[in-house]
Structure formats: structure tokens, C-alpha cells
Amino acid sequence: MNCFILSDNRPPLHIKEDTSHVCCTEHGLCIYLETARHKLLLDTGASDLFLKNAERLGVDLSKVDYVFISHGHRDHLGGLEFFLKVNKTAKVIMSPAILGSRYYSERNSLHSITCDSSFDSFLGRFVLIEGNRVVDSDLHIITQFVHPYPMPKANELLKVKRNEADDLCPDDFGHEMALYIDGLLYLGCAHNGLLNIMDASPFPLNCVLGGFHLLDGFETPQELAAIADVLKTNYPSCKFITGHCTGSEAFRLLKQTRCDMMSFHSMQYIHL
């Protein structure tokens, strides 16, 4: 498998004199993944930035056959309308709970994190998933999570309105999904908890890719060490590649226990 980081919060660490192929950044996540059978777009970032970065990296998005939307927040869904205008055939896998819902964050002050685009004219291309399901024989969609491990503490700042008439309520992240394909688990932001999502996978894991929603200043060093200990004990041969909503200090503490923890911040292209 090959993947390219098309949208993330931080620029690559190693920038050479020729910056023509260096990707710009935003608060969002978008990854292009190419397997033996598929060309996938994993989330779409917050804007059309991923299109510009794909061009810089020589990624042809017209060949993508599936888009996977991990959850309904704008920093993962905001670029979808731009993609659908560029690619006329790809199917979009997402939760039906996203449609019509309004999402908010109370971090710093209450503000919307909803994608305001209308997808009405594209709904024929959507594959709306409820419950665990297999798409096209090898794309395993995981939507059913139990919570033997704690949820990320930063979730407490995230709210939802199911429709315009509803009051704001805590987001239970029933709209979040994970994707498993050929040993790789992609989990977007892991709002249901990194360990909970991994625990929900019925398949052996070779690699976990995505944000872990462990923002700096929320989990204590002891809590992060407990997560790292479970990763080391239960998944000794799995590698972890993260960025976006994984804080720099959280990453450092996790990496102390898991030396095979890698960051998007250090790369644009990954061969798995």
C-alpha cells in the first residue's frame, strides 16, 4: 500500500531547498491510499486544499473509486464538495447520521464545526452505512463500538444538534466509523477512543493510521502511559502513524513506550 498525506495540521519536518512539492497545511485531515484493488480518499480535509496538495505530489484524484468519511466534522468533510466536482464516479462511504446534523465545539468559545455544503445533488453516489458492513468485498466498515476504555477527554467540548429544532447535547459520536482494509485500520479522529476502536476490529492489525484525539493538556501523562502500555501489550507488532488531532506532547509520551509510533509531521509519502 502507498499513502500520501494531502491535508494535515502541520507541515513536514524535512523541507529541502526545492519547496515546490511541499504541502500546505490547514486544520484538517485527508489521506490518499492506494491498494492493490482500490484508490481511496480517507476524509477530505476542511477545504479544497487537498486538491492543490495532490497536484503538488502527483496524485491523480480522478482515479479514486471510494471516499471514506470517518465522521461529520468540517475538518474531515469540508473538502468533499470540491472532490465531487473533480471526480465524477467515486462512491462516498459515510454515516447517514451526518446528514442534517449540526456540530459545535466549545473550545475557546462556542462555534460551529459543521460542513455547510449541500450534497443533495450527489446523494446517488453515497453509500450510507449503519452497522458493521463490507463494501466491495474488502472494505470493512466498523461502526459498532463498545467502550471498555475511556473516551478522549477533549470530547467533552464537542456538541451536536440532530436537527434545527433540537437543543445542543453532548456528541456521542454515533456518526463515527473506522475503515479496515488489508491489515490497516483508518480511524479519522478516534473520538470513540483509540483503544475502543482497535478493540472493535475483528481482524489482526498491522497498522493504525489517523488522528487519535489526544489533545495536549487533556489526558495526564499517567493516562497516556496507560494507553501506551495497552498498545505495547495487546498490539506488539502493530505500527502507528498519526497526526492531526494527536498533540505533540501526547505523541512524545506515546512514542516513549511505542518506538514504532510515527507522525504525519515527518513525512508526506508512506509505503506500508
Query: Does the global pTM surpass 0.85?
Result: yes
Q: What is the pLDDT of residue 12?
A: 59
Q: How far apart are CA 240 and CA 209, in angstroms?
A: 6
Find, among 210, 174, 242, the residue nearest to 76 by Cα: 210
Q: What is the pLDDT of residue 124?
A: 95
Residues 6 or more apart from 58 whose CB is under 8 A from it?
A: none
Q: How far apart are CA 257 and CA 69, in angstroms?
A: 30
Residue range of the domain that includes 255? 2-271
Ramachandran quadrant class, 86 (left: phi over 0; alpha: psi -120 to 50; beta: rest): alpha
CATH number for 95: 3.60.15.10
Query: What is residue 3's DSSP assignment?
Result: E
Number of domains making up the chain: 1
Question: Which residues of the chain fall below pLDDT 50?
Answer: 13-20
- Give the burial class of 11: count Cβ atoms within 10 A of its Cβ; 0-12 exposed, 13-18 middle, 19 or more buried: middle
Most distant pair of Cα atoms in the chain: their distance: 54
- Give the burial class of 233: count Cβ atoms within 10 A of its Cβ; 0-12 exposed, 13-18 middle, 19 or more buried: exposed
The residue behind cell 464516479 is 89
Q: What is the pLDDT of residue 16?
A: 45
